[in-house]
Amino acid sequence: MLARPLLTSAGISSEVLIWRNRVPRMGVPRTGDASLIVENPRVTLNEEHGLGVPATDAPEPELSSWAMHAKLDGDDGKQYWIDTILVGGWGADVRVLSVREGEGEVVQLPDSIYKLADFLPPTLGVRPFPRGELTAKKENGQVLVEMQDARIECKGGKTWRYRVADREKGIKIDFVHTGVGFPTWFGKEKPQAFSAHQIAYGYFWPGYVEGTLTINDREVRVKGKGGRERTYMPDSCPAESGGGHEWIWFHFDEVFGTTHMVRLSKFKDGSLYLIDEKEYVPYRTFDVEHHDWAYHRQLGAFIPTRYRVTIESDAGVMEMDSKIVGAAIWAVSGSVPDFPFALLHWDAVHGTFTYKDGRKRALTNGRAASIFRQWKPYPRIFAPEAFGLVSEVSDAPIL
């Protein structure tokens, strides 16, 4: 299928966007069916601000969030996985900052068929506030998003600057995220319906991250890759998301993109951006294989610990694989979470891209992470060795 130029360098600074025609796929009806094909893929202050933060008395579960997830190299020789989000909705305004270092492992439990995700927990600060603490305003050519000990400066183009701290945990970041090309839109002119009550505007944009990380007064210069997210949801249902909701961002030196799927509605979407070719390509389809499921005690559920992903597009086929070496678990909710987020941290990502003409290219310096959400379907009596409760049930009869 021929590519068609949507915008020229006259329309978007010095960049030329080649946009592949989108082929209908997977047959899932949804609001804003052409959300990935937008009139102008540039990010502006209108999208950075959206409708700001829902009013304190707005009917739940309306929400608005600004987030970033990154894997970074420190000048101290260590690798760090950083996750942060400022969100208003679900009964509270919440600030989250998570800093994790070191690789965990998956271990086989003795005398059991189950495996355990033995991951070191992150230094995690989750701070809920009454509604109204989080604010967003347009000012001096940028959008300022602020709450206690947090400020994000959205420049309405390529960069966001994050300054977020958790004094009690002794952690602080001062990062700049820079996007290349254009993000994956999941709602711009029109909203996207992931499921009946998961309606969203916004984008996810993998890019480059650089700045300083402070841990207990020790400052580390860091540099790497990460995905930033801007979401505004006029309707949000955690229960529908808990049926199986996964978002993967990936970034190689040659290509970056995202995959997004919701199992209850069979929703699947995503796009990739070929960096050298300056080409944005929505997917025809993709497959995500989950392998080596292991129990994560903090989450209270099993998680996949090895991924294989195949993405088919009009530009070619991309394949990548990696293992999970850590996770950050939290819930951005004012109520008890039945379906908390699991931010799964990927090891080095290996990948190839096979073009339509048969050329196969090895992809380099791959980094990725996945936002994984599901119900917690297992009672404590199930697999007591996985729950760490063997002593509690050792005398119980086996039925």
DSSP letter for each residue of 219-252: EEEEEEEEEEEEEEEEEE-HHHHHT-EEEEEEE-
Per-residue pLDDT of the chain (399 residues; tens, 9 = 90+): 233 333 322 333 333 444 343 333 333 333 333 345 677 788 989 889 987 787 776 665 588 999 999 999 999 999 999 999 999 987 789 999 999 999 999 999 988 899 999 999 999 999 999 989 999 999 999 999 999 999 999 987 789 999 999 999 999 999 999 998 888 888 888 888 887 777 888 999 999 999 999 999 999 999 999 999 999 888 877 667 667 789 999 999 999 999 988 887 888 888 999 999 999 888 889 999 999 999 988 887 889 999 999 999 999 999 999 999 999 987 654 444 566 678 999 999 999 999 999 999 999 999 999 998 877 665 555 566 666 654 333 333 322
Whole-number Å distance between alpha carbons of 33 and 27:
10
Q: What is the pLDDT of residue 298?
A: 82
Best CA proximity match to 295, nearest among 166, 111, 157, 108: 108
Burial (0-12, 13-18, 19+ Cβ within 10 Å), 4? exposed
Question: CA 146, 230, 310, 305: dihedral to nearest 10 degrees?
Answer: 30
> Kind of pairing, strands 279-291 and 17-20?
parallel
Say how many C-beta atoms besides its own lie within 10 A of residue 340's C-beta.
Answer: 20
Whole-number Å distance between alpha carbons of 97 and 173:
9
With contact defined as beta carbons under 8 Å apart, do 264 and 373 qualify?
Answer: no
Instruction: Record the pTM.
Output: 0.85
Tokens 């060795």 identify what position?
Answer: 385
Spatial CB neighbours of 37, under 8 Å, sequence gap ≥ 6: 19, 22, 282
Q: What is the pLDDT of residue 6?
A: 32
Fold of 3-20+54-391: AttH-like fold (2.40.370)
Alpha carbons within 13 A on the beta-carbon side of 163: 8
Whole-number Å distance between alpha carbons of 225 and 349:
12
- The residue extents of the domains of the chain are 3-20+54-391
Helix extents (H) in the chain:
45-49, 238-242, 384-387, 390-393
Strand order in the sheet with 105-108: 105-108, 115-118, 294-296, 301-303
Whole-number Å distance between alpha carbons of 62 and 198:
10
Burial (0-12, 13-18, 19+ Cβ within 10 Å), 218? exposed
> Kind of pairing, strands 17-20 and 198-215?
unpaired
Whole-number Å distance between alpha carbons of 181 and 281:
12
> For residue 347, what is the enclosing H or E element?
none
With contact defined as beta carbons under 8 Å apart, do 116 and 302 qualify?
Answer: no
Q: What tokens appear for 260 in the block?
A: 């997004």
